[in-house]
Structure formats: structure tokens, C-alpha cells
Amino acid sequence: MIYVTGNNIVRRGDIYYADLSPVVGSEQGGIRPVLIVQNDVGNRYSPTVIAAAITSQTGKARLPTHIEIGPDAGLSKSSVILLEQIRTIDKRRLKDRMGHLDDKTMQQVNDALSVSFGLSPDYTAENTGVSAS
């Protein structure tokens, strides 16, 4: 079965508004933009997607998992993709498609995902002086 949202097949790099409530603790919630980071095979055949929250709070802590994007990405103002705030959501949570990121920005997203998942040798506990325990 192919899963679509409205008239759209969801694609990696798309930005949608999504309803992320309810939340617990420090999770990003409410209706907010999200970036689809799941691969396109999963996007096509799964009823869920993997998405990263986006905030318009550009003054948030600058982390290696944060990617700044401008309004040219389909949003009303400059925003930050929070690649430490990743979750699997049902496609029924997706609302309007806002835009799509270009290849250069998606490469930055890939690099930040590597950091977030501990796949980047530059950001291991040993290299950053942060205790993993």
C-alpha cells in the first residue's frame, strides 16, 4: 500500500506542519513545522514518518544538531531544525506541506544527524570531553 498525505507523497527533505501533541517533558509539541528525515522508501510504504522538529526560536542554544534555515524553505521566518528532537509520527499528524530543502541544506542535515546518533567521530564523548555516563 502507498501512503499519501492529502495529494502528496511525502518525501525526504519536505517540510510539513504537524501536530506533535501530546508531549512529555522537554519534547517539542503543538502544531509546528517538521522536517521529514526518513528515507523515501519508508515514506512511500509506511503509515509513519521520521521527522525532526523545527522552531522559530533562533536564539536557542547553538548545538551541532541545529541547522538554521531561512524563510526560502517555505516557512514564514528564519527557523532552526532541531535534529536532537527526532520522532516517529503517524502520517495523519501531517498537515500542510510548506516546502522542501535544497541538496546543500540536506547535506548539513545529514551531518547533524550523524552527530545526533553518535555516528560522527568528531562528536564522540572522548573528543568533546563530555562524560557518557
Segment 87-94 shows an average pLDDT of 95
Residue 128 in 3-state DSSP? helix
pLDDT band at 126 (very low <50, low <70, confident <90, very high): low
Burial of 122 (0-12, 13-18, 19+ CB in 10 A): exposed
Residue carrying C-alpha cell 531561512: 70
- Domain-wise residue ranges, the chain: 14-128
pLDDT in tens, 25-63: 766 778 899 999 999 999 999 999 999 999 999 887 789
Burial of 7 (0-12, 13-18, 19+ CB in 10 A): exposed
Nearest to 80 by CA among 58, 112, 106: 58
pLDDT at 28: 73
**14-128 in CATH: which number?**
2.30.30.110
